[in-house]
Amino acid sequence: MTERKTLGPIVSSAHLADGAAPALSELEFGMILAFHAFERWMVRCMAAAGEPGLGPLDVLIVHAVNHRERAKTLADLCLVLNVEDTHLVTYAVRKLEKAGLVKSGRKGKEKTVTITDKGARACGRYRDIREELLVKTIQDMGLSSEALSRVAAQLRILSGHYGQAARAAASL
């Protein structure tokens, strides 16, 4: 009988898993896969909702602008979406304005962005498609809302640790 060799953790970079926390490398690989799958999903769902040609950040921004139906500043959008490069948000807002999904305004000296009727309808169609194609399959996995909320909270906490580590690395 031959002995079966254990493959070890599933990671993208074995040299990173050689350290003190190989499970962190497993998590990072999972985040990489989830991140790219989520980006593909957002773009394809919005295309199915009738708005092709948008990138992942564009989709995030149109949903963020639609959130709670009140004007957002560019700083608000950058903060909520954790985007450091404000020019990326500015460019996306211009693209969304040209598509008729958002409109710009002013609140004092600050530029604001609000959703248009067309943008709200696109977000509604996206929601309906998401319910049909994604939510049902996630529910079929048997994950409770509480379990999903715990994972979400842990990811938000991890993002803080990665942000702090990024700031420390930038100071080296």
The pLDDT tens digits of the residues spanning 64-108 come to 999 998 999 999 999 999 999 999 999 999 999 999 999 999 999
Residue with tokens 């696109």: 122
What pLDDT does 6 receive? Answer: 77
pLDDT at 153: 97
C-alpha separations of 135 from 32, 111, 131, 139, 143 in Å = 21, 35, 5, 6, 11
- Residue-level length of the chain: 172
First to last CA, the chain: 53
In the chain, which residues have pLDDT < 70?
A: 1-2, 4
Q: Where are the domains of the chain?
A: 21-164
pLDDT of residue 12: 87
CB 96 within 8 A of CB 62: yes
Instruction: Report the predicted TM-score, pTM, of the whole model to 2 decimal places.
Output: 0.91
Give dist(CA 61, CA 81) in Å, integer: 8
Scan for tokens 């709200």, then name that residue.
120
The CATH code belonging to domain 21-164 is 1.10.10.10
Mutual angle of helices 117-130 and 22-48, in 10-degree steps: 120
pLDDT at residue number 110: 93
Asked if residues 73 and 85 have their Cβ atoms less than 8 Å apart, the reply is no
Question: pLDDT at position 44, please?
Answer: 98
Query: For position 55, what pLDDT does the model report?
Result: 98
Going from the C-alpha of 127 to that of each of 66, 75, 134, the distances in angstroms are 12, 26, 10
